[in-house]
Amino acid sequence: MKPPRTPGNIMTFCELRDKEVINIVDGRRLGCVIDIEFDITCGVIRKLVLPPQGKYFSFFSSRDNLIVPWDCIERIGCDLILVRLIEFTGPPPHPSKDCCP
């Protein structure tokens, strides 16, 4: 059974994209959400799309984007999205602390 919709568990895409994504397996900062993929038949979000490691935005080259399956999300907080990506072997993230506009 789905939990009832309350103001505390509803979020817009604009709110989601302002959150930084952290891999709890190794503590890497993966970047901020740039897009989502969802199933149009049932209206369920399937994946978060993040920019390639070391780049801020990559609207024109989607093949290098990092895809995070929805099932890998552990928690969505006020400022962060915690994910568990066990097989992630990407390069170290960009050293900037202000990755999210």
User: The domain that contains 76 carries what CATH number?
Assistant: 2.30.30.240
Q: Is residue 38 part of a domain?
A: yes
Per-residue confidence (pLDDT) for residue 101, from 0 to 100: 39
In 3D space, the residue among 47, 43, 54, 46 whose CA is nearest the CA of residue 33 turns out to be 47
Residue 49: strand pairing partners: 35, 67
Per-residue confidence (pLDDT) for residue 96, from 0 to 100: 44
pLDDT tens across 44-53, in order? 999 999 998 7
Q: For residues 96 and 16, which has the higher predicted lDDT (pLDDT)?
A: 16
Residue 23: which pLDDT band, with cuts at 50, 70 and 90?
very high
Q: Would the pLDDT of 97 be above 60? A: no
Give the residue carrying structure tokens 């072997």.
Answer: 89
For 16-52, the DSSP string reads: HHTSEEEETTT--EEEE--EEEEETTTTEEEEEEEPP
Q: Is residue 68 part of a domain?
A: yes
- Count of structural domains within the chain: 1
Q: Is residue 92 part of a domain?
A: no
Q: Can you give the pTM of this predicted structure?
A: 0.72
Query: What's the rounded Cα separation, in Å, for the pair 78 and 36?
Result: 18
